[in-house]
Amino acid sequence: FRFSHISDPQREEEYRQRFAALLNYATLGFYWAGYEPERGKPRYEYTDQVVDWCHQNRITVKGHPLAWDHPASSPNWLPDDSAGASSSHFDEIERLSTGRVRDIIARFKGRIDIWDVVNEPTDLTRFSNPMNTWARQLGGVPFTALHLKVARAANPGATLLVNDYRTDPPYFDILNGLRAGGKLPFDALGLQSHMHGGGWPLQRVWEVCDNYSYFGGPIHFTETTIVSGARLPSPIREG
């Protein structure tokens, strides 16, 4: 996320050298509000630079996230009819959201083939914005299934993930609810482990992995936070 954002050229070069020396995997941000601040003008050029550098250094690239109801993923140019909540309003947001997923995955096919397609579908009540209003009226399972279907059509060979900060029944239920004819539409499931209150005991790691092994696919620990000091006075919501 810091690539080309360090003002000191020497520190930028040191950052790149250390990243390449330490890591073989990089996550690139596709948060809609910042990635396409002006409608119809996504910032593909910057991503192209980062992807090229990663490939030159044999670093596997993943994209995150494509569909999320957070304010960071709800551009201010999305149609907003929160008072009327008309069907045409929702139809337009659906067209824009699914179109974005389709365009991005197809454009980077062969260069980015791992995607957090839907992020945090368990909690569609935290925010208030056009993306959230639409997602909430759809529901967690349909919202997730819709974007996974579009992503699969755009790149049948991609590794598609659903990603969430919850490891309790609501997430399990959404993943299980995605079954269609006994088949799941995702290739791996993403688990966040933001340990703001202290490191997870190994027993918890084991239990979480054992629980989600039910789905029979790979488990990715997608986001991990271990604080280096005392927790801040105001609680930080995981996720």
Model pLDDT for residues 124-157, shown as the tens digit of each residue = 988 999 999 999 999 999 999 999 999 999 999 9
Q: Is the pLDDT of residue 231 over 80?
A: no
Residues in contact with 44: Cβ distance below 8 Å, sequence separation at least 6, in sequence order:
107
* pLDDT band, residue 181 (cuts 50/70/90): confident
In this prediction, residue 239 carries a pLDDT of 44
Proportion of the chain above pLDDT 90, given as a percent: 85
Average pLDDT for residues 50-77, to the nearest whole number?
A: 97
Phi and psi (nearest 5°) for 46? -65, -45
Q: Which two tokens stand for residue 172?
A: 């399990």
Strand ranges (E), 96-165: 114-119, 159-164
Write out pLDDT tens, residues 102-116: 999 999 999 999 999
Residues in contact with 178: Cβ distance below 8 Å, sequence separation at least 6, in sequence order:
141, 144, 145, 148, 162, 184, 185, 186
For residue 58, CA distances in Å to 5, 26, 30, 33, 160 come to 21, 10, 21, 29, 21
* pLDDT band, residue 89 (cuts 50/70/90): confident
* pLDDT band, residue 88 (cuts 50/70/90): confident
Write down the pTM of the prediction: 0.91
Q: Is the pLDDT of residue 122 over 90?
A: yes
Q: Which two tokens stand for residue 174?
A: 């959404």
What value does the mean pLDDT of the chain take? 93
Average pLDDT for residues 19-29, to the nearest whole number?
A: 97
Q: Is the pLDDT of residue 36 over 80?
A: yes
In this prediction, residue 86 carries a pLDDT of 59
Average pLDDT for residues 24-53, to the nearest whole number?
A: 97
Average pLDDT for residues 26-33, to the nearest whole number?
A: 97
* pLDDT band, residue 193 (cuts 50/70/90): very high
In whole angstroms, give the CA distance from residue 52 to residue 65.
Answer: 20
